[in-house]
């Protein structure tokens, strides 16, 4: 077993808690975390999490049943809908980006909204501020 898998297997809750704190600075609380923490005891949690990240970074094959869809998405068809990008000033995982470099993927308009209160995870109550 590789070190990453072994570490996650042994420290599921503490690793998830650390990631939640890093990804959502300023609004982590144990009361909200505890109900989610029960899911880390699922026997499939470690293998699912490891595969998900490996696939995301191109280090694991995807589901063969979705291969045709993956090929279609790889062609990067233009998005016709108006697009709003939400970025968190406190997002410590994905750096804040701008619409530059993304316009070629869009047919509609794109706006960017940046908020200090957002981490990598966008809270529903924050998204409601912009939903009208």
Q: Are the C-beta atoms of residues 23 and 93 closer than 8 Å to each other?
A: yes
Residue 101: its pLDDT value, please? 64
Record the pTM.
0.63
* Two structure tokens written together for 110: 């794109």
Residue 121: its pLDDT value, please? 55
Mean pLDDT, consecutive 10-residue segments, the chain of 132 residues? 90 91 75 88 94 90 92 83 76 62 75 69 52 50
Q: Are the C-beta atoms of residues 100 and 129 closer than 8 Å to each other?
A: no
Name the residue ranges covered by the structural domains of the chain. Answer: 1-65, 76-132
Residue 117: its pLDDT value, please? 64
Q: For 54-76, what is the HEC assignment?
A: HHHCCCCCCCHHHHHHHHHHHCC
C-alpha torsion 21→27→32→37, nearest 10: -10
Residue 93: its pLDDT value, please? 67
Q: Which residue has the tokens 């994905």?
A: 94
């Amino acid at each position: 077993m590789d070190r990453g898998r072994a570490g996650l297997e042994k420290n599921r809750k503490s690793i998830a808690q650390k990631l939640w704190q890093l990804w959502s600075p300023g609004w982590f609380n144990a009361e909200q975390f505890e109900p989610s923490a029960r899911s880390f005891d699922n026997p499939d949690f470690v293998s699912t999490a490891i595969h998900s990240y490996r696939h995301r970074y191109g280090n694991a094959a995807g589901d063969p049943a979705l291969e045709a869809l993956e090929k279609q998405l790889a062609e990067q068809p233009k998005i016709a809908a108006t697009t709003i990008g939400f970025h968190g000033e406190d997002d410590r995982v994905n750096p804040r980006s701008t619409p530059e470099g993304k316009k070629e993927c869009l047919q509609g308009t794109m706006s960017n909204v940046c908020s200090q209160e957002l981490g990598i995870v966008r809270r529903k109550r924050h998204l409601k501020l912009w939903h009208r």
